[in-house]
Amino acid sequence: MRNGWARIADSGATSGAYLELVNRDTVAVSVIGISTEVATAAEVHETMQHDGMVHMMPRTALVIPAGGTVSMAPGGLHVMLVGLRHGLSAGDSVPLRIHFSDSTQIRVVVPVHTP
Ligand SMILES: [Cu+2]
């Protein structure tokens, strides 16, 4: 995990978390789910522009190619934190458990700050 951070947000609201996931293995792997204690749900979303409107679409299986990197950044892929159990202020940290298709999982902690 590189360059992780999450947006400042109020309790009960939604926030976005961003990070880069690096796959050093020789086979592709998919992100199949994300969990966190700070929100009722954490979903992988993709931001898309269509007819001048901005939409977010859930991505249920996000493939990270062998030896590849997937970047989650504002305006693109992101982790949507839905239903924050408490507010996120600058200096807080957000733990994320990322579940992969090969049954492995990693736990990362990203800092909260302004974009
Ligand atoms: Cu979203």
What mean pLDDT, rounded, does the chain reach? 95
Ligand 1 ion: Cβ-proximal residues, 5 Å cutoff: 45, 56, 80
Q: What percent of the chain has pLDDT over 70?
A: 100
Which pLDDT score, from 0 to 100, does residue 92 have?
Answer: 97
Nearest by Cα to 82 from 47, 58, 106: 58
Which pLDDT score, from 0 to 100, does residue 61 have?
Answer: 86
Domains and CATH numbers, the chain: 2-111 (2.60.40.1890)
Count Cα atoms within 13 angstroms, Cβ side, for 26.
0
How many angstroms separate the alpha carbon of residue 110 from the centre of ligand 1?
17
Which pLDDT score, from 0 to 100, does residue 9 have?
Answer: 97
CA distance 92 to 110: 9
Nearest by Cα to 102 from 12, 30, 2: 30
**What pLDDT band is residue 115 in, cutting at 50, 70 and 90?**
confident
Which pTM does this prediction carry? 0.92
CA distance 55 to 78: 13
Q: Give the mean model confidence (pLDDT) for residues 38-46.
A: 97
How many angstroms separate the alpha carbon of residue 42 from the centre of ligand 1?
9
Pairing of strands 29-35, 62-64: antiparallel
At 97 the three-state DSSP class reads strand
How many angstroms separate the alpha carbon of residue 72 from the centre of ligand 1?
11
